[in-house]
Homo-oligomer: A and B are copies of this chain.
């Protein structure tokens, strides 16, 4: 189930049947894989728009005439019609109905390049009627001679989309297309000429590409944009002044307001936290990949689970952080000249592409539940999850607000909280199954809490990793000091923002939460002082920031003014004047 879910987001599995010997119709290829259903989706790794996944039963290509009939759009999707009919209260009272009707649902959304000559199709491999799971196949879709679509291929542009105007997303349909046997990507799996299927290691290795992509996107597509947004918003917040903090004084820099600090500084701490968790994931990846090259696939599930969970957590938190940075710049944040709108509308897609976040978190949760059960039964589990079996009731020992600046104290609190969420959800799952609920229903009924538990685990590891990284900075005392502040802020902000899960079983008391809040708010004022150097340290050039608000020299208003002058609308008379305003104004005057 895990692997299927994982795949569903990424591409449309179609059935690919192995035909064995060459056929007369395509003498150039010695062996063929025959795609015998129209393909509804295939997606490039960088595409923001995942394709539809359809079961074989829904794959029949409609009669061409279906699309030219106006009547098709006059009918109502049977799923929607039945939703309306089975509602438990009278809907006629509230709204107007259209007549229902029947029609095949056609899933036609798919993604492929407008320019591509070849694409990689992920499809279910069938040999002699037996399914061997999803495999990747290189498929030629356009002629190398004149770029025309190959026989059996239908493709085109999917139309406008949020921010990704320059990305060549397309739809693709294949009908009776044959693919040479050699076009199956077969580093780990192979179909031999006689139809024998040979696999090395785990079947999950087929999804290794996705794992790789998930990890690699975190830095470039998520953390870098987050750092840019922090740089822009923080630099602007010490240039922009508004109102007076103290009567009679000059207007205050907006970063001197506690609310502005509380918006931006936790995002800055998050950028550093994610920078370090990215290192952690890279190390994990290198270790696992090293093992795989030695034909040891044992660590693959851990990598898959954590790359999924961290991709989800990092993209979600970073999207929210960039949004906060944009809004913290007030109206100027909405100007394209700030650079923030494009950072935001781009990063928000990262929550969906390369695995929709909720589904990814459930992958992580499945692994955590499995490890929790194994660890509870005394079996060996990866070191990163041994803590799961060690949960016990207890109280946080901190006695005053300063003690909450101890990494041991807050890391322990996160660990306790994550372990509690995993174990309590495992217990709920178990209870449901024991009370007679079917396994898949029980799982579905726990998914909200499972996703929460997975996020808690990733949050805990991020805090722990940050604290350990700071510990290693001993040789650079100045940097260690400020990094320690950021680590504290990241950790306490997380507790402050998710107070419920820490208070729930009394591990943290209400009085302790007040101490945490006090320490958290104190930290804002401390880090405030170093905020600008901390974003300078990201070392973006003005050119790469491309922001009138965020340039190194802080000449915000000159740049806004000068950049605005370049707008075409400032170089021409309003075309509306001659056509609409002038007749209106002159007419009015003549009547006066």
Q: Could you tell me the distance between the alpha carbons of A79 and B327 in the complex, rounded to whole angstroms?
A: 21
How many chain A residues sit at the interface, stated as a range, is 35 or more
CB <8 Å contact, A335 and B160? yes
- Assess A559 versus B73: contact at CB under 8 Å? Given A330-B50, A504-B510: yes
Asked whether A156 is an interface residue with its Cβ less than 8 Å from the other chain, the reply is yes
Name which of A94-102, A194-202, A210-218, A281-289 contacts chain B. A94-102
Asked whether A448 is an interface residue with its Cβ less than 8 Å from the other chain, the reply is yes
CB <8 Å contact, B553 and A258? no
Asked whether A408 is an interface residue with its Cβ less than 8 Å from the other chain, the reply is no
Using an 8 Å CB-CB cutoff, how does the interface string of A85-122 with B read, 1 for contact, 0 for none? Answer: 01111110111111000010111110100110100000
Which of A57, A333, A557 has its CB near the most chain B CB atoms (within 10 A)?
A557
Asked whether A501 is an interface residue with its Cβ less than 8 Å from the other chain, the reply is yes
Q: Which of A257-279 contact B (CB under 8 A)?
A: 257-259, 262-263
Name which of A31-39, A126-134, A458-466, A531-539 contacts chain B. A531-539
Cβ-closest chain B residue relative to A253:
B79
Q: Which of A486-528 contact B (CB under 8 A)?
A: 498-506, 510, 513, 517, 521
Asked whether A337 is an interface residue with its Cβ less than 8 Å from the other chain, the reply is yes
- Assess A72 versus B536: contact at CB under 8 Å? Given A90-B478, A334-B352: no
Asked whether A560 is an interface residue with its Cβ less than 8 Å from the other chain, the reply is yes
- Assess A95 versus B333: contact at CB under 8 Å? Given A257-B447, A482-B89, A500-B513: no
Q: Which of A353-381 contact B (CB under 8 A)?
A: 353, 356-358, 362
Q: Could you tell me the distance between the alpha carbons of A258 and B67 in the complex, rounded to whole angstroms?
A: 34
CB <8 Å contact, B51 and A105? no
CB <8 Å contact, A171 and B561? yes
Q: Which residues of B contact A553 (CB under 8 A)?
A: 73-77, 80, 98
CB <8 Å contact, B79 and A554? yes
Cβ-closest chain B residue relative to A498:
B500
Q: Could you tell me the distance between the alpha carbons of A585 and B539 in the complex, rounded to whole angstroms?
A: 39
Cβ of A531 to closest chain B Cβ, rounded Å: 7
CB <8 Å contact, A80 and B333? no
CB <8 Å contact, B159 and A552? no
Q: Which residues of B contact A531 (CB under 8 A)?
A: 83
- Assess A567 versus B105: contact at CB under 8 Å? Given A80-B553, A552-B98: no
Asked whether A208 is an interface residue with its Cβ less than 8 Å from the other chain, the reply is no
Q: Could you tell me the distance between the alpha carbons of A556 and B72 in the complex, rounded to whole angstroms?
A: 11
Q: Which residues of B contact A108 (CB under 8 A)?
A: 557-558, 560-561
- Assess A245 versus B444: contact at CB under 8 Å? Given A147-B581, A161-B336, A570-B157: yes
CB <8 Å contact, B96 and A539? yes
Q: Could you tell me the distance between the alpha carbons of A241 and B536 in the complex, rounded to whole angstroms?
A: 47
CB <8 Å contact, A557 and B445? no
Asked whether A529 is an interface residue with its Cβ less than 8 Å from the other chain, the reply is yes
- Assess A94 versus B533: contact at CB under 8 Å? Given A159-B336, A259-B448, A341-B161: yes
Q: Could you tell me the distance between the alpha carbons of A351 and B327 in the complex, rounded to whole angstroms?
A: 8
Q: Could you tell me the distance between the alpha carbons of A331 and B589 in the complex, rounded to whole angstroms?
A: 54
Using an 8 Å CB-CB cutoff, how does the interface string of A552-591 with B read, 1 for contact, 0 for none? Answer: 1111111111111111011001101100011001000100
Q: Could you tell me the distance between the alpha carbons of A538 and B94 in the complex, rounded to whole angstroms?
A: 8
Q: Which of B75, B256, B441, B577 contacts A115 (CB 8 A)?
A: B577
Q: Could you tell me the distance between the alpha carbons of A360 and B445 in the complex, rounded to whole angstroms?
A: 39
Given contacts A147-B582, A245-B441, A246-B440, 19 further A-B pairs with CB under 8 A are A53-B242, A77-B553, A80-B532, A80-B554, A88-B482, A90-B478, A93-B476, A93-B478, A94-B537, A108-B558, A147-B574, A147-B581, A158-B567, A159-B564, A257-B444, A257-B447, A258-B446, A334-B349, A499-B499
**19 examples of A-B residue contacts, CB within 8 angstroms:** A5-B243, A8-B242, A52-B240, A53-B242, A54-B241, A58-B241, A83-B532, A87-B532, A95-B538, A156-B567, A158-B567, A159-B563, A160-B337, A245-B441, A258-B444, A258-B447, A327-B357, A330-B356, A503-B510
